[in-house]
Amino acid sequence: MKTATDYLWFNTEHHREFINITDRVEQLVKTSGIKEGFVLVSAMHITAGVYVNDAEPGLIADIDEWLEKLAPYRPDYRHHATGESNGDAHLKSLLIHHEVMVPVTDGSLDLGPWQQVYYAEFDGQRKKRVIIKAMGD
């Protein structure tokens, strides 16, 4: 079995951003030489996430609004007693989740017709990273 690992670094311009990273994940799969297997994509921070969905801008705005309704920014989270102000970002990360596994078939990501891999940042404007780990033969 082969493995290949890469890290993506982000320092987003905005507090919340959704970044399509499909091409960068596919690039690691191609350079790894893995023909059959899986690729794990995982946010290495507890205020960010990774998900698979459509790249349509209206849907991305809907996801952002939905997350804000479920976990709105507000000053009264208990977490803020620690001196932090990102309680909502932790909750948004739980809703999106922090990682995805994508199958690799014949040396390429085996995604559905509209599926794309996204990095979701909920407490940005500082340096964060994502690990991409491909495994297979």
Question: pLDDT by residue (tens digit) across 9-22?
Answer: 999 999 999 999 99
Residues near 101 by beta carbon (within 8 Å), at least 6 away in sequence = 38, 39, 40, 41
Which pLDDT does position 65 carry in this prediction? 98
Closest CA to 74 of 93, 98, 91, 95: 91
The whole-angstrom separation of Cα 102 and Cα 5 is 14
> What domains, with CATH codes, occur in the chain?
2-136 (2.60.120.460)
Which pLDDT does position 64 carry in this prediction? 98
- Cα 130 → chain centroid: 7
Which pLDDT does position 86 carry in this prediction? 97
* pTM (predicted TM-score): 0.96
Sites in the chain below the pLDDT cut of 70: none
Contact between 6 and 132 under an 8 Å Cβ cutoff? The reply is: yes
The whole-angstrom separation of Cα 17 and Cα 20 is 10
